[in-house]
Amino acid sequence: MVFDDLPTPSLILDWDKLARNCRNMAHRATAHGVRLRPHLKTAKCIEVARMATDGHFGGLTVSTVAEARYFAERGFRDITYAVGISSGKVDELHAIQSALNASINIILDSSAAAIAVSERAAAIGARFSVFIEIDTGAGRGGVGPNDKVLLEIASAIVSRPSLRLAGVLTHAGHSYLARSQDEIRTIAAQERAGAVLAADRLRRHGFQCEQVSIGSTPTVLNSDSFDGVTEIRPGVYTLFDVDQASLGVCGTGDIACSVLATVIGHNRRAGHILIDAGALALSKDISPAKFRDDVRFGLVSYADSLEPIPGLSLSSLHQEHGLISAHGRSLPYDQMPVGARLRVLPNHVCLTVAPYDKYFVLKDGRVMATWDKARGW
Amino acid sequence: MVFDDLPTPSLILDWDKLARNCRNMAHRATAHGVRLRPHLKTAKCIEVARMATDGHFGGLTVSTVAEARYFAERGFRDITYAVGISSGKVDELHAIQSALNASINIILDSSAAAIAVSERAAAIGARFSVFIEIDTGAGRGGVGPNDKVLLEIASAIVSRPSLRLAGVLTHAGHSYLARSQDEIRTIAAQERAGAVLAADRLRRHGFQCEQVSIGSTPTVLNSDSFDGVTEIRPGVYTLFDVDQASLGVCGTGDIACSVLATVIGHNRRAGHILIDAGALALSKDISPAKFRDDVRFGLVSYADSLEPIPGLSLSSLHQEHGLISAHGRSLPYDQMPVGARLRVLPNHVCLTVAPYDKYFVLKDGRVMATWDKARGW
């Protein structure tokens, strides 16, 4: 495949940036003496998983059963499905464990879930390692580190032969909303302290708590201490995006993934350049709007670059149309004739990447490979 | 497949509602003497295409090349690819036409596109029917009905043997933003008048303009007149959604598509019930926010119903987590224990449906079929 002949919209991966992002995180984990269990919900790609685990123990994190199957089928044997488990998913996870000789670790945050899952597991002869999910401030899943129910859940787990208590797990997702590096550091400290406190409480009450698993890209990259932590689970760092750049966690030059699009029209009356990448090709995520008002649905670069063109953004998305608008400048109609190719730097790359079947991987301006990926559920 | 055993998240189609929606639109088109060329970008499904074209001429509208191929491979022979064409898509559309004996009609709104596409078509022996896209107020693609360039584009088309001028086409997408039925009617009148004016101008200047193609679900359902119009291209009416219900174009009882999800946690401290359907399973579209502030990312019903539960909505979506919040009431934790199943009524069904591989079709409370669908590009 020649770059100029790629279909649009399509997903482009810049190999050098991806490799650098993976290397930096792997070094950071090694330097701090923690295991790296990268979250592959972002890239959903076996090649990225291999690069991201290079030099580490090979554990992965995923957020769908389809991803668990995809990575297990391709040789990964220690996978944490990091979304609260329900008994309806037990059969399929057991099938993956059995057929592929893999361990699928599950997470839960209630005795009710532990009981329901253990009963189904026992009925079909399954056994799972379980992390108790801790809420260290994100307010999504998890029990508070000091919650009384933490011990009840641990009791429910250890009393059931189909479950094994592996440790505690937390995700400081609210770090994505921080207004400064200082605030990220504060959240990172809470994330670590909350997870370690929960683990200590379990141990004081006689439970084994081998793993203390934390991590989001912002907190892991800004944390001062990993004391008491055994593993980290960042994900978006592999590809990065405009949201992470706007948060100050990376530069736009670190964004490894983009969407190649074609100019399909000029609407000079309305003041738009139209491209064939819309809401499905990019997602309608507007996360960077928390930090800056000049991004809207994504930034735009020329096809041979990943340098955002100043004063241009995707102001509106329809299902398969993206509308580029200018602010504080005029639209460069002449530099973007109908048929020209552009790249869009995604706002939230996890959502942008998800529906595609594959990446076209670019190195030194050439398409060096096509990489398949997981999708769906 | 038994309904209670369906995996989650998954896409559920209520057959009776789908059939009624399709029948009503087909009758309306017949009653007004216009061809119905339904837009299958919404459902992306061969079974829905068959139901939607029942009693009509069998033409379809699509918005991706993948959809064009999918429907042509399954027997549809007259398909309008209704996104501005670029020469990079000519080879694949020609391959579909040749291999499957289909006509893929294209749309464009500039002489530059006509020239580029005709040159590529001529080079590979392709020929396409072309609609000139008219902007009747949406401000997306298209030339104004009175624009001088309309005639230049027509000249560019008819002077090239690889292209044939089929007519004019418009889409009043701004009807989705209307604040009242009266405003929709006004937009519908502009849509019709603009398309007919453009067609008349072409004819006065000696061009053939056989087809005058208009339509969005809101304008078609609220229009008083189709004089001069030959075909309509609504799409979202097949499934409907919370946005259309909020706009007043349908009732929530007409929504035929929903996402089945499982309760995976209770976070009483934060005041959420968590489900396993998040931003990827639902999309981050918040279109109904234009009309009402109690919807956010979607409405919720119990699994055996499609009646939204008052005072509940999805207040926040993460990649694979949805967070249900209550307003003006308390959260029904006891009615929604961990493991319970719910359905989410989607905000903008076109975006929700897109990444799934299939529908589970429900009739009389039972899963009567699994229908595959197109996806991607």
Q: Which residue bears the tokens 């057991």? A: A94
pLDDT of B66 over the 90 cut: yes
Interface test with B, best of A318, A352, A358, A375 (most B CBs within 10 A): A318
> Looking at chain B, which residue has its C-alpha nearest residue A262?
B86
Å between B9 CA and nearest CA of chain A: 7
The complex's ipTM? 0.97
Half-sphere exposure of A1 (CA within 13 A, CB side): 17
CB A187 within 8 A of CB A137: yes
Cβ–Cβ gap B88/A339 under 8 Å? yes
Rg, C-alpha atoms of chain B: 22
Task: Work out the number of other CB atoms within 10 angstroms of the CB of residue B56.
Answer: 17
pLDDT of B353 over the 90 cut: yes
CB A243 within 8 A of CB A251: no
pLDDT digits (tens, 9 = 90+) for A160-203: 999 999 999 999 999 999 999 999 999 999 999 999 999 999 99
Containing A168, the helix (H) or strand (E) segment is strand A163-170
pLDDT digits (tens, 9 = 90+) for A290-324: 999 999 999 999 999 889 999 999 999 999 999 99
Mean pLDDT of B325-345: 97
Residues of A in contact with B87 (CB under 8 A): 339
As a whole number of angstroms, the distance between CA B366 and CA B1 comes to 9
Dihedral of the CA atoms B85, B88, B91, B93 (nearest 10)? -30
Is A234 within 8 Å of chain B by CB?
no
Structure tokens at A100: 């592929």
Give the pairing of strands A103-108 and A128-134.
parallel
B355-360 contact pairs (CB < 8 A, 24+)? B355/A280, B355/A354, B355/A355, B355/A375, B355/A376, B355/B280, B356/A376, B356/B10, B356/B11, B357/A376, B358/B11, B359/B11, B359/B12, B359/B13, B359/B45, B359/B257, B360/B1, B360/B3, B360/B6, B360/B10, B360/B11, B360/B12, B360/B13, B360/B260
Cβ–Cβ gap A281/B377 under 8 Å? yes
As a whole number of angstroms, the distance between CA A174 and CA B315 comes to 15
> Looking at chain A, which residue has its C-alpha nearest residue B138?
A270
Share of chain A above pLDDT 70, in %: 100
Residues of A in contact with B1 (CB under 8 A): none
As a whole number of angstroms, the distance between CA B126 and CA B161 comes to 10
Residue A289: pLDDT band (50, 70, 90) is very high
Nearest-CA neighbor of A15 among A272, A227, A185, A239? A239
Is B110 within 8 Å of chain A by CB?
yes
Is B287 within 8 Å of chain A by CB?
no
Cβ–Cβ gap A140/B318 under 8 Å? yes
Give the pLDDT score at B65. Answer: 98
Is B173 within 8 Å of chain A by CB?
yes
Å between A352 CA and nearest CA of chain B: 9
List helix spans (H) across B53-109. 65-73, 90-100
pLDDT of A40 over the 90 cut: yes
> Looking at chain A, which residue has its C-alpha nearest residue B144?
A269
> Can you say whether the dihedral through the CA atoms of A29, A30, A32, A35 is positive or negative?
positive
Structure tokens at B351: 């975006």
pLDDT digits (tens, 9 = 90+) for B262-320: 999 999 999 999 999 999 999 999 999 999 999 999 999 999 988 999 999 999 999 99
As a whole number of angstroms, the distance between CA A291 and CA A241 comes to 13
Residue A1: pLDDT band (50, 70, 90) is confident
pLDDT digits (tens, 9 = 90+) for B182-204: 999 999 999 999 999 999 999 99
Q: Name the burial class of residue A349, with classes exposed (0-12), middle (13-18) and buried (19+) by CB atoms within 10 angstroms of its CB.
A: buried
Residue A224: pLDDT band (50, 70, 90) is confident
As a whole number of angstroms, the distance between CA A338 and CA B171 comes to 20
Is B63 within 8 Å of chain A by CB?
yes
Give CA B10 to chain center in angstroms.
Answer: 19
Residue A341: pLDDT band (50, 70, 90) is very high
CB B64 within 8 A of CB B88: no
pLDDT of B356 over the 90 cut: yes
Per-residue exposure over B64-86, b if at least 16 CB sit within 10 Å of its own CB, e if not: bbbbbbbbbeeebebbbbbbbbb
Q: Which residue bears the tokens 């001088």? A: B148
Residues of B in contact with A116 (CB under 8 A): 338-339
In what order do the strands lie in the sheet containing B103-108? B35-36, B231-232, B211-214, B163-170, B128-134, B103-108, B78-81, B60-62
Give the pLDDT score at B1. Answer: 83
Is A289 within 8 Å of chain B by CB?
no
Cis bond leading into B9, ω under 30°? Answer: yes
Cβ–Cβ gap A83/B264 under 8 Å? yes
Give the pLDDT score at B254. Answer: 98
* CA distances for A373 relative to A73, A328, B330, B343, angstroms: 12, 39, 41, 28
Give the pLDDT score at B149. Answer: 97
As a whole number of angstroms, the distance between CA B120 and CA B101 comes to 20
Q: Which residue bears the tokens 């036409």? A: B97
Is A41 within 8 Å of chain B by CB?
yes
Cβ–Cβ gap B140/A274 under 8 Å? yes
Is B276 within 8 Å of chain A by CB?
yes
As a whole number of angstroms, the distance between CA B280 and CA B319 comes to 6
Half-sphere exposure of A356 (CA within 13 A, CB side): 31
Mean pLDDT of A135-163: 97
Residues of B in contact with A274 (CB under 8 A): 84, 140-141
Phi, then psi, of B246 in degrees rounded to 5: -70, -30
Residue A33: pLDDT band (50, 70, 90) is very high
